[in-house]
Chain A
Amino acid sequence: MRLNKHKTFKTGGIHPHDNKLSAQVAITPLPLPKMVTIPIIQHIGAPAKIVVNRGDMVKTGQIIAKHEGFVSSNIHASVSGRVGVIEEVMDSTGFKHMAINIRVKGDDWEESIDRNDALIEEIKLTPKEIVNRIMEAGVVGMGGAAFPSHVKLSVPEGKHVDHLLINGVECEPYLTADHRVMLEKPKEIIVGIKILMKALGVQKAIIGIEDNKADAIEIFQQLLKNEKHIGVEALEVQYPQGGEKQLIQALLNREVPSGGLPADVGVIVHNVGTTFAVYEAVQKNKPLLERVVTVTGKSVKQPSNFLVRIGTPVIDLLIAAGGVPEDTGKIVSGGPMMGKAIADLDVPVAKGTSGILLIPKAEASRSEIYNCVHCGKCIEACPMGLEPYRLLIMSKKGNNKRAKEEHILDCIECGSCSFVCPSNRPILDYIRLGKTQLKKQKNV
């Protein structure tokens, strides 16, 4: 047993096997696809407004859809070529959204983008300009939720933020995209952190990294030896530590109030991948048009981390990782705990796609459901301190009012309850149903 135990969050939590198969595989750029399909909604908020027409020639980095309203995000061409059909396609959520097809011709970038790899440390822009640049570059949270980053950086009036937390936890089993970015771009991430600190006007930043990524922790400790304002904290491995609320509890021992935002307790959280995107947007004027995607799974020939242009069909990634194994039963966009199963291999990689996970047939379907044996494991596991088994019953009976009183809306849908349930009960499925019904009632 380790003597000095690392910090972790206190409420609930589970320990699934981490299966980080691709942790030692360096990021490799995926060859340019023949065609990309770029959905105009890859973020939380309003869809962007399409500003190109079929037949237009576009350059890599050119805006093809502009944000509508504040909570929205710009969409850029991730390749150069001719705009093809603009039609509804199915994305990883399973819903159909408008998307822009671009047939790739060459790789002709916008001149304003600095494609040089040299590190630029000096931050010239003012806080306001930084937020503006991030908004123009279409940067969104790259941990999975894809919340527009400029919105997070605009702290509501009357709220005082004293800490910036950088989320390098990557608590989802299998995924290694953030881990590789931390190993390969640590200096850029540190500049990114300074940019975010300047934009927010905070004096203190902490990078939280789980201790199964000791190499990344060491690199940052080395690089930040002389930094007073940026710290690194090793965290004990526990899912869902990468949840914003859990990370805040783990690092600062603060709890975001029910229905509140991290800013309510003086904190803003950004993912390491996002921080790197912020660096590129601000220092290199490069919009968010590519990201690191982990392609992994127990039967995958070469589990890999690819640098992928947004809009690349998933099938291209699978082929590059050695093809789809015979025994594949399920393909998940994202991690195994919160990712979404996709039905179609043409689904495009979006800004929030952190990984593609291939699950063997034997593990793809759910097993037999038994009666609830009242073991209390779901209560023990819930990182929000809820009583999932009761929320299931309430949602099943349509008793949404009771469910609301029991804080069903606090649920972060991490899936810990369903994971631990020995009776295989579809707890989270019913909680989602209850939440959706409540939201519907609110809208009526």
Chain B
Amino acid sequence: MSAGLLTVSPSPHIHTDLTVPQIMRGVIIAMIPALLFSVYNFGLGAVYVTLLAILFCVVIEYAIARYLLKRPASIYDGSAIITGMLLAFNVPSNLPWHIILIGSAVAIGIGKMSFGGLGNNPFNPALVGRVFLLLSFPVEMTSWPKAGATWSLDAVTSATPLGILKDGLRAGDTVPELMNQMPSYTDFFFGLQGGSLGEMSAFAILLGLIYMLYRKIITWHIPLSMLATILLMTGIFWLIDPTRFANPLFHLLTGGIMLGAVFMATDYVTSPFTHRGMLVFGVGIGVLTVVIRLFGSYPEGVSFAILIMNAFVPLINSYAKQPRYGSKSQRHKAYQEKLEKEVKATP
């Protein structure tokens, strides 16, 4: 062979297999169990909403990149698919198509592309879209179809456990009374409850978490610190007054906490860099979620909590740094002192 055909480039000459498209593919695979549970619960509506959201997100990203920003379309990295899926996971499965379109446009257009596309957005795009829809279409966004194999597009609606709890408490009922109206914890765990499309089943989401941990796509820091904080805080309030506050397990298994902890808060772009920072971030989301749930006017607060903490990420990044090798480490200081002592001691 001719030597002229050799590639010459600076080191390193090998590269990890875990590239952006691979990671995105991994996240999509991790979301599939939750999607399947949703299809089982809500039937075709779940498929319809998910596919529409993905389609809208990808098309809108392509259009903005090609015709507005005039640069190569960035859809092949797969991030628009994830945004679409996550947006769908956060809405009821009977949402009309035009609202999905508006949500996708806000998520991709305002949440992502207006900042420069993948990697530059300060807020989780899917959540931006979701919260926009929640504030703009409160009725459509909070009328959830009843869970349990409803295979038609116009199903009976039902309230979420968190909604029942909030309204009941407002009406003067106590928690133990309200609990009798709700599905069992096993139903919560496996997803037989009212709610948004992807937040049904803690079990399915945990499968996704295990897969992402195994593929080393995410680390345990954000999900664990967030869930532990929620468990601890709701636990304290529950111990103080079990008639006014629901128990921690109920909080953990209902609403969007699992979905938020595993898929929303762990978004690379909008979470801190270092493990320390991730712990702070997770704890912050946990605290805000519990505060909104227990004392706010909305029954659920995960989306708001994550968006608020997204805003703190740059600040967290500038404080929670990786310990640098060398000068500042305690080990080094201790050694230095020991060394000085030794030097002094030797004649």
Contact = CB atoms under 8 A, between A and B. Distances in A.
Interface string B323-337: 111110101100100
B343 A160 contact: yes
A340 interface: yes
Given A330-B13, A419-B14, A249 B325 contact: yes
A16 B11 contact: no
Nearest to B23: A422
Given A254-B335, A339-B13, A372-B119, A345 B326 contact: no
Given A254-B331, A343-B6, A364-B7, A328 B20 contact: no
Interface in B46-98: 77
Interface of B: 1, 3, 5-16, 18-20, 22-23, 77, 116-120, 268-275, 321-327, 329, 331-332, 335, 339, 342-343
A18 to B, nearest CB: 11
A410 B325 CA distance: 9
A371 B268 contact: no
A38 to B, nearest CB: 21
A255 interface: yes
Contacts of A376: 268, 272-274
Contact of A373 (B116, B118, B321): B118
A383 B19 contact: no
A64 to B, nearest CB: 27
Contacts of A413: 11
A324 B18 CA distance: 30
B6 A374 contact: no
A423 B274 CA distance: 18
Contacts of B119: 370-374, 423
Q: Is the interface of B mostly helix, strand, loop or mixed?
A: loop
A326 B5 CA distance: 12
Contacts of A255: 325-326, 329, 331-332, 335
A367 interface: yes
B259 to A, nearest CB: 20
Contacts of B20: 370, 373, 422-423
B325 to A, nearest CB: 5
B344 to A, nearest CB: 12
A332 to B, nearest CB: 5
A429 B12 CA distance: 9
A428 B326 CA distance: 20
A268 to B, nearest CB: 15
Contacts of A383: 325
16 contacts: A12-B325, A160-B339, A245-B325, A249-B325, A258-B327, A266-B339, A337-B12, A338-B11, A341-B6, A341-B13, A343-B3, A365-B9, A375-B273, A384-B325, A419-B12, A428-B10
Given A371-B119, A422-B18, A254 B332 contact: yes
Contacts of B274: 376, 379-380
B114 to A, nearest CB: 15
Contacts of A337: 11-14
A367 B120 CA distance: 21
A265 to B, nearest CB: 6
A385 B269 contact: no
Contacts of A121: none
A96 B269 CA distance: 44
Could you say which of B20, B269, B325 has the most chain A C-beta atoms within 10 Å of its C-beta? B325
A373 B268 contact: yes
Contacts of B13: 330, 332, 336-337, 339, 341, 357, 359, 363-364
Interface in A220-272: 245, 249, 253-258, 260, 265-266
Contacts of B1: 324, 326, 328
A124 interface: no
B343 to A, nearest CB: 6
A431 B269 CA distance: 22
B96 to A, nearest CB: 33
A301 to B, nearest CB: 14
Nearest to A385: B324
A331 B16 CA distance: 19
A336 B12 contact: yes
A266 B343 CA distance: 11
Contacts of A421: 16
A372 B317 CA distance: 15
Contacts of A106: none
Given A376-B268, A379-B322, A423-B19, A418 B12 contact: yes
5 smallest beta-carbon distances between A and B, as pairs: A415-B12, A376-B273, A371-B119, A385-B324, A375-B268
A407 interface: yes
Most buried by A among B7, B11, B22: B11
